[in-house]
Amino acid sequence: MMKTRLEALCGKKIAECSYEEIYEALMKIVKEESRSQGRKVEGRKLYYISAEFLIGKLLGNNLINLGLYDETDKVLKEGGKSMAELEETEAEPSLGNGGLGRLAACFLDSLATLKLPGDGVGLRYHCGLFHQSFKNNLQSESPDYWLNGAQWAEDTGKTYDVSLAGETYRARLYQIDVTGYGGQTNKLHLFDLDTVDESIITEGIRFDKTDIEKNLTLFLYPDDSDDAGRKLRVYQQYLMVSAGAQMILEECMERGSNLHDLADYAAVQINDTHPSMVIPELIRLLGEQGIAFEEAAEIVTNVCAYTNHTILAEALEKWPKEYLEEAVPQLMPVIRKLDETVKERTDDAGTAIIDEDGRVHMAHMDIHFTHSTNGVAALHTEILKDSELNGFYKLYPEKFNNKTNGITFRRWLLSCNRALAGYIESLIGPGFKKDAGELKKLAAYADNGEVLQNLTRIKAENKKLLAKWLFKKQGILINPDSMFTIQSKRLHEYKRQQLNLLYLIHTYFEVKSGHLPAAPITAVFGAKAAPAYTTAKNIIHALLTLSKVVADDPQVSKWLQIVMIENYNVTAAEKMVPACDLSEQISLASKEASGTGNMKFMLNGAVTLGTLDGANVEIQDCVGEDNIYIFGQNSVQVIRCYERGDYCAREWYETDANIRRAVDFIAGDLMQAAGDRESLESLKRELIGKDWFQTFPDFNAYVVRKNQAITDYAVNPEKWARMALMNISQAGFFSSDRTIKEYNEDIWHLG
């Protein structure tokens, strides 16, 4: 069947086709199949509105979801072609920065799989997150063009007018089919302008930030370190919410809404504060349809719900009133009225929408004018209620709820780790693919030596595959017989890649003095630093420089290797996750809202080394203390310490010889000979003078716990395999199907 369809579309035998031809033909087949899967939309429909959808490559995943993968794989093999090479043809849509965008993509998969009416609404950026390359051990950025060749997104021919700074722009609606696994087909709606012009990109990722006709959807999250960048961000957000709101109202009216009853037709989930202007925009549009302000505000409150993804103050958007006056003057009267309404409700100035300095707090508007505010892991939600958003919690306790994040097992197990998925199926049957809770059945094999050996063998194979991929991609040879410790996530001081760096330097000294680790270690990193975030870039530089220093030392390189994956993205993660032994989740407790990489690694049989932060806490609850390595301060200690404001990094540096030795090494002779003096010294200064995310107090506990994990791995492989099995068996809770069911039961009530 697949063979005849493919050959008919290509007009020749598969063996004679190029991969590009096969890719295009398969795309056509997938599109036809996903349409015929159909969907029903009755009652309330969800619009998940988000500035990011980090969907990753779509071909393989769609084939799996439509049940066509195995047949396609077979047909290709018969024609002398390989699925792996075919998948290389596809450009990855990197339409997100990290966890928040990837979560949105997992949610779309689960919505479609659960046959729930729910679509995504976002922007069709011409360049996704920048392409990262390493030159002289420094990160350099270039544009990530992905809109070449055949496209999953289709032009619907529909457009919506959007007014920015008094000028009208035409937003064009594109749509990507979202195929559920044996489910229904939903949509991802992405808006774009026809006038965007890639030729305005000059050096690297630089471009004229003021020419919005040409640059509006050119880049995902353009550099906002200056005024023009921040304004552009506001323009992008408004383009998305205004076109989105118009589309939502149009769809609902077509389905019979009289707009007074909008909440019976639509639920809008606001993914962090980037889409928050959808609130005043919907109120404004309802006003144009003759609905008075008070009623419109109430309708919109019933329609919208808000998810908070971080407690970091610098990430909570506050736009100067003047920006909004200039960019979206039509919204300011609405925002002012909302602000006045709040000031009548409460005299707590801390919850004001417009503060004394004239800044508009997007999160505040969200909490006042939506019916639900949720955090993304149990600990995170508690911190929001008790500390960060306590003023709001006192006003609206009933609005606050927790929705612990999840990941789709289709992409993060069935697709990225076919060997493990197949083996699990041979043990417990196929039920776990749709009902992740069934993974618990694996626990019955915890003491089965043969099963444990098979798991170890599959992991070893996956490690070889990662090594092979890395060699092809970066020309680096790694030892598949070493222990793979992996830290992959955005580079940010709170995530503490620098703590891992200090450990690696410490281990360098240990090896030098004859204290060898229990097993050779390959420390793998995947991380992009925001282009204007100097300290993050300095950490990348230190890691790359250390990697060279270690590689050039034959005594140490037998025991330690440090590798940074260039251009870490979803595709890279799909190779790294199945190959990991130890999953590094070492953020400063209280700072990582949830994490989702932690869940991906666990599901693929890695053991977590982590702090009691974000969803790590719930991972520990699921697997038990014996199957996870926890270390460091807890969130209560950290929050109290910040309140006291008495953390002094220099004291730790001066009193702890191991810390001092490692920190001094960063800017010492060996590192300077291989790296950039200014960057290394600046990182050292930052650590001694500030260390805002407290790596020093957790350093010794980290070293001890990590070495314990390495010893367990080396000395008792069966014990290690048992831990891996327990992690897989308890991962069911972290399926995004579970998360989506909870959102639906508590917030959306779809259908």
Active site residues: 309, 489-490, 495, 596, 600
CB contact at 8 A, 375 and 388: no
Name the residue nearer to ligand 26V (CB basis): 109 or 272. 272
Name the residue nearer to ligand 26V (CB basis): 305 or 376. 376
C-alpha distances in Å from residue 235, one per residue of 113, 231, 332, 357, 434: 34, 6, 14, 22, 40
Name the residue nearer to ligand 26V (CB basis): 93 or 595. 595
Name the residue nearer to ligand 26V (CB basis): 488 or 596. 596
**Least distance in angstroms from the C-beta of 614 to ligand 26V:** 5
Instruction: Restricting to residues 393-432, name those near ligand 26V by CB under 6 A.
Output: 405
**Least distance in angstroms from the C-beta of 218 to ligand 26V:** 19
- Cβ within 8 Å of residue 493, ≥6 positions away: 535, 536, 539, 692, 693
Q: Per rule CB under 6 A, is residue 376 in the interface with ligand 26V?
A: yes
Reading the block at residue 733, the tokens are 């809770």
Q: How far apart are alpha carbons 332 and 326 in whole angstroms?
A: 10
Q: How far apart are alpha carbons 662 and 368 in whole angstroms?
A: 48
Name the residue nearer to ligand 26V (CB basis): 131 or 309. 309
**Least distance in angstroms from the C-beta of 597 to ligand 26V:** 8
Beta bridge partners of 266: 45
Q: Per rule CB under 6 A, is residue 99 in the interface with ligand 26V?
A: yes
SS3 labels along 354-395:
ECCCCEEEHHHHHHHCCCCEEECCHHHHHHHHHHHCHHHHHH
Q: Per rule CB under 6 A, is residue 487 in the interface with ligand 26V?
A: no
**Interacting stretch for ligand 26V, rule CB under 6 A, among 27-35, 594-602, 625-633, 670-678?**
594-602
Residue indicated by tokens 């030392």: 553
Q: Per rule CB under 6 A, is residue 614 in the interface with ligand 26V?
A: yes
Q: Per rule CB under 6 A, is residue 592 in the interface with ligand 26V?
A: yes
The 3-state DSSP class for residue 214 equals helix
**Least distance in angstroms from the C-beta of 528 to ligand 26V:** 13
- In the bound complex, which residue of the shown chain has the CB atom lying closest to ligand 26V? 99
- Cβ within 8 Å of residue 20, ≥6 positions away: 89, 149
- Measured in residues, the chain has a length of 751
Q: Per rule CB under 6 A, is residue 100 in the interface with ligand 26V?
A: yes
**Interacting stretch for ligand 26V, rule CB under 6 A, among 93-101, 110-118, 420-428, 719-727?**
93-101
**Interacting stretch for ligand 26V, rule CB under 6 A, among 98-106, 319-327, 636-644, 668-676?**
98-106
- Cβ within 8 Å of residue 692, ≥6 positions away: 493
Residues 728, 272, 306, 398, Cα dihedral to 10°: 70
Phi, psi of 151 (to 5 degrees): -115, 135
Q: Per rule CB under 6 A, is residue 596 in the interface with ligand 26V?
A: yes
Q: Report the chain's C-alpha Rg in angstroms.
A: 26
Q: Per rule CB under 6 A, is residue 610 in the interface with ligand 26V?
A: no
Q: Could you give the maximum distance between any two Cα atoms of the chain, in Å?
A: 79
Total of chain residues touching ligand 26V, rule CB under 6 A: 18
* Nearest CA among 183, 186, 211 for reference residue 198: 211
Reading the block at residue 76, the tokens are 């290709």
Q: Per rule CB under 6 A, is residue 594 in the interface with ligand 26V?
A: yes
**Interacting stretch for ligand 26V, rule CB under 6 A, among 95-103, 318-326, 390-398, 511-519?**
95-103
Binding mask 297-336 for ligand 26V (x = CB under 6 A): ------------xx-x-xx---------------------
- Chosen residue from 49, 114, 205, 593 binding ligand 26V by CB under 6 A: 593
**Interacting stretch for ligand 26V, rule CB under 6 A, among 99-107, 274-282, 604-612, 621-629?**
99-107
* Nearest CA among 249, 382, 367 for reference residue 304: 367
Strand arrangement, sheet containing 154-164? 154-164, 167-179, 185-193, 118-123, 45-49, 266-271, 304-307, 373-375, 400-402
Q: Which residues make up the interface to ligand 26V (CB under 6 A)?
A: 98-100, 103, 272, 309-310, 312, 314-315, 376, 405, 592-596, 614
